[in-house]
Structure 1
Amino acid sequence: MQKALTAAIFLFLFRCDKSHRRAAMGCKSSKQGTLAHMNQPSGKRTLDIAIIGDSGVGKSSLVNALTISPSCMYNFPLRQRTLQDECSDLQRRALLPPQDPGRKMHNKMLSNKKKFLAFVEFIKSLQKNVDIKSDPATYFNEVIKIYEKTFSDGGMKEAASKVKKELEELENTELHIAITGEVGSGKSTLINALQGLKAEDDGAAPVGVTETTLNPNAYSHPKYPKVKFWDLPGIGSPGFSSESYLKKVDFPRYDFFIIVGSTRFQNCHIELAQEIQRMNKLFYFVRSKMDLDMSSMKRNYPKTFSEDQAIKTIRDECKKNLLNFKDSSHQSFLISSWDLAKYDFPHLVETLEKDLPSLKRIAFLFSLPNFSSEVIEKKKSALKSHIWKISLVSACINAIPLPGLPLACDAALLLGSMVAFYKMFELDDGSLARVARLARKPVEELKAVIKSPQGKEITLDLVKKTIIHTLQCFLPVSPVSSLASAGVSFATTYCMLWSFLDNLSEDAERVKKVLGLEECEAEHLRAKQNWHKT
């Protein structure tokens, strides 16, 4: 049954006189009135609007405007409130044109964005409140519930595409670290230490007592080629100019600078730092060769030597040297390139983590050697914050059904991720051979304590077997027939990767123990205590 609404709009130029008010009260058409009749395509509803006013006030123009776009009735807040108060919901809808397809797409995108953000918060909350080791069944079921609650009415493909781009951005993130300082300060040795190399290893920076660096030389990390360490020419020569120096070394290229001094910070260090700061780049003062200083002081003062007091003396001297630097918030970090766990290197890492953008921070963290339990734990935590992304992409993009199982996944993506995890924890064959050589230990001794499958054993067949094993652990708890395949795939691969990461971090700890780094760990704790005292 067709219903109608009649409304009157009175137009006047300056004021509403008695004739207008009488017409409004009667709402009758006359020679002064014009009728706008509009039929909306959606639904059988007719809306009749009488437009009344004196000649020349624009009745016909308003009719034409309303016929083309009835929504212009809502151009003014007072008119909008009046119509909303006096018309029913269906009558108000009759004033509006059919929704623009572009607008619908925009609303859908906003809805999918809200779903994605809600999904991320659900996952973070689950990681915080449910322990997968002590209660894996609850964890598995909660992951599926979160997945189904978020994507029950669509949006999972869009979310998967978004996180796929995020994973690609992380993989393609470049980090350029500039190491500079005076000749013989240990720049090249520090670069090699950051990569876990010795000067004789392939790809290592050459080390010498004379200047070996005349032009900026890049050394790509052996496992992460997009992380580059730049050995810059020495500073402090006669006539040194920080401005011309930075032009020569292509200043904009680098993400941050490490300014190295081996004895004391001089005017050339301060001048360079001020020029870097003026150009809004990050920089850090590093006092190197602490191991040589400690050994020398111990030989010279065998009876009264105290390492803590010696460190305090050097730290105070560094502060004194930097008094002329305008920004007193910049501290100097005392390090030994031969023992990164000692002294202040862990605090340099923490400072960089705070200062660098998120993707570059993660790239820097993954490139570090496993010199302490703290680094291993940070790597595990960073990776766990990304495995849900890998699982979502695996379940929704390029997913291939696994025969006999109620799920489909991108097994190749999972394989690549697991191999990458191995390298990040330095458990691949190349990394194990390198750290064994540095520690002068047989590589077989390191491999003997690794309980996870060896690097060469990680194949597509192993990935599929691990998925099957993970799913079988939960099948009795969760009736698969009631679950969407994508949800099961996401939950299964998520739990599998989570467990795999836990096992790898435990293997990395065992390898660290065999390497004899417990003493370094104790030194690391002492260094933290000394740092907080200062």
Structure 2
Amino acid sequence: MGQLFSDTSKDEDCGELESSFTACFKTNTESKIIPQETIDSIELHLTKGNIQGANSVISAALKNIDNIPINVAVTGESGAGKSSLINALRGVGPEDEDAAEVGVIATTMRRTAYKHPKIQTLTLWDLPGTETVNFPLKDYLEKMKFQEYDFFIIVSATRFTKLDLDLAKAIKFMKKNYYFVRTKVDLDLDNEKKCNPRTFDREKTLQQIRSIYVNAFSQNNMDALKIFLISNNNLSDYDFPFLMDTLVKDLPDQKRYNFMLSLANITEPAIDRKRNSMQQAVWLEACKAGLLATVPVVGILRDDVEKVKEKLNHYRVLFGVDDESLEAMAKDSQVPVEQLKKKIKSPYLLETEGETTLGEMFLKYLEKFTSATGGPLATGLYFRKTYYLEYLFLDTVTEDAKVLLRQI
């Protein structure tokens, strides 16, 4: 790795590091992946030229991000679409091996845990419908371990019930966040259009559905809340993107990163937010490893190559542009998988031509990166060779995800 700083340049390099850190983490509060007090502590260490102190704080923050669990409770009436919503949040199809069963009326009184396939710290809990239990709500809350969840999603499909209201009151009493989701609005719109083809007004119908729930809460002296109207069959339409934005915004900073990575690529802004979060994590990892140094082009070793390949594959998986995701996407959209691969760049990013050495390949990508992006490089901060490539990987898989989103 070599020496981080020479004695003569330590103050100057610390200044560049501090400037780059501030630029990287000068994001909206809703996008930060570490708490402000942690950011302030890192900046203080950098101001004093204490790289080891900064790295210590960063290491603790990254460990917390990697290990802290996120538990989401999905509850509501049976048949409202809870299982479909859980599958949508996990990015799995109804026929996938580990999918929550759709269309099955729950008969068990036990909660069921579903791990996110890519983010192991995220668990979604399917709770039995409150109308299926034969014991008081207080006992229901205790049996379902309500204190363990970060937030609740209350799902409804047809009507607002007193049980929904009582559940919302109980969650509010525990000072937890809850979000009311009205599913199957696509079916409501289809029915309304069939019944009133000449006078059908899509937005008016949606507003009528929303008003039913808002008025019910108001009439029962509950604060007005946002009602998210969604279709589990079409996540990019209706309010699902707004629901995801709200969940991310309301989560604590240290839980925001992994939850952000779990989200489906349903809009281009969602893809950009995922990239922004990962860029912050890459920067933190770079500092943690003590990577402030002039980039050595020579001496790129075999283990470096393997680590670089692993990192690129990891990014492709998180952004849904890996081979397995492409095959599933091709099957769903009924197009050849090779047709999708031709539209993206990340599968071929580390290919070399002829006698090109890895060092020459790295120089080529480094030149491409510095000409196309700003960020830390623009401030004079130098990371170890692999971190230049990681930023390139992020840019590439981000654009690939957008290309595929437009394609499908």
Alignment match of 1:123 (pick from 21, 40, 45): 21
Contact 1:466–1:496 (CA under 8 A) maintained in structure 2: no
Tell me how far 1:121 sits from its aligned partner. 4.7
> Could you tell me which residue of structure 1 aligns to residue 140 of structure 2?
245
Write the distance in 2 (CA, Å) between the matches of 1:213 and 1:350: 32
Write the distance in 1 (CA, Å) between the matches of 2:25 and 2:86: 36
Write the distance in 1 (CA, Å) between the matches of 2:357 and 2:403: 23
Letter in 1 for 2:93: K
- Which aligned pairs between 1:13-412 and structure 2 lie closer than 5 A? 119-125=17-23, 155-211=50-106, 213-237=108-132, 239=134, 241-396=136-291, 404=298
Secondary structure at 1:381's aligned position in 2?
helix
> Could you tell me which residue of structure 2 aligns to residue 447 of structure 1?
341
Write the distance in 1 (CA, Å) between the matches of 2:161 and 2:234: 25
Secondary structure at 1:293's aligned position in 2?
helix
Tell me how far 1:237 sits from its aligned partner. 3.8
* CA distance 1:154–1:415, shift in 2 (3 Å): farther
| TM-score in terms of structure 1 length | 0.61
Write the distance in 2 (CA, Å) between the matches of 1:404 and 1:413: 17
Contact 1:390–1:414 (CA under 8 A) maintained in structure 2: no
Contact 2:122–2:259 (CA under 8 A) maintained in structure 1: yes
Contact 1:188–1:231 (CA under 8 A) maintained in structure 2: yes
Secondary structure at 2:181's aligned position in 1?
strand
Contact 2:46–2:54 (CA under 8 A) maintained in structure 1: no
Letter in 2 for 1:190: L
Contact 1:395–1:410 (CA under 8 A) maintained in structure 2: no
* CA distance 1:328–1:455, shift in 2 (3 Å): farther
The gaps in structure 1 that reach 5 residues or longer are 1-111, 129-149, 476-486, 516-534
> Could you tell me which residue of structure 1 aligns to residue 396 of structure 2?
503
Moved more, 317-326 or 275-284: 317-326
* CA distance 1:285–1:346, shift in 2 (3 Å): same
**CA-to-partner distance for each residue in 1:157-200, whole Å, 9 max, x for gaps?**
44334323322322223211110011111100111111222221
Write the distance in 1 (CA, Å) between the matches of 2:297 and 2:19: 33
> Could you tell me which residue of structure 2 aligns to residue 91 of structure 1?
none
**CA-to-partner distance for each residue in 1:397-452, whole Å, 9 max, x for gaps?**
9x9x9783599x97776555433322221111222233333334433222221112
> Could you tell me which residue of structure 2 aligns to residue 426 of structure 1?
320
**CA-to-partner distance for each residue in 1:469-496, whole Å, 9 max, x for gaps?**
4457799xxxxxxxxxxx9861654443
Q: How many residues align?
A: 366
Write the distance in 2 (CA, Å) between the matches of 1:474 and 1:430: 28
Secondary structure at 1:176's aligned position in 2?
strand
Letter in 2 for 1:498: Y
Secondary structure at 2:346's aligned position in 1?
coil
Write the distance in 2 (CA, Å) between the matches of 1:504 and 1:165: 28
Write the distance in 1 (CA, Å) between the matches of 2:259 and 2:241: 13
Moved more, 337-346 or 386-395: 386-395
Moved more, 232-241 or 488-497: 488-497
Tell me how far 1:306 sits from its aligned partner. 1.4
**CA-to-partner distance for each residue in 1:264-301, whole Å, 9 max, x for gaps?**
22110110111111112111111111111111111111
* CA distance 1:368–1:213, shift in 2 (3 Å): farther
Contact 1:196–1:435 (CA under 8 A) maintained in structure 2: no
> Could you tell me which residue of structure 2 aligns to residue 490 of structure 1?
383
Write the distance in 1 (CA, Å) between the matches of 2:249 and 2:137: 27
Letter in 1 for 2:193: K
Write the distance in 1 (CA, Å) between the matches of 2:24 and 2:72: 36
Letter in 2 for 1:321: A
* CA distance 1:462–1:247, shift in 2 (3 Å): farther
Q: Which has the higher contact order (CA 8 A, sep 6+)?
A: 2
| TM-score in terms of structure 2 length | 0.78
Letter in 1 for 2:131: G
> Could you tell me which residue of structure 2 aligns to residue 33 of structure 1?
none
Matched, 1:438 2:332: yes
Contact 2:265–2:271 (CA under 8 A) maintained in structure 1: yes
Tell me how far 1:511 sits from its aligned partner. 0.9
Moved more, 424-433 or 233-242: 233-242
Tell me how far 1:118 sits from its aligned partner. 8.5
Letter in 1 for 2:69: E
Write the distance in 1 (CA, Å) between the matches of 2:178 and 2:19: 35
What is the RMSD of the two structures over their aligned residues, measured on CA atoms?
Answer: 3.7
Contact 1:192–1:204 (CA under 8 A) maintained in structure 2: yes
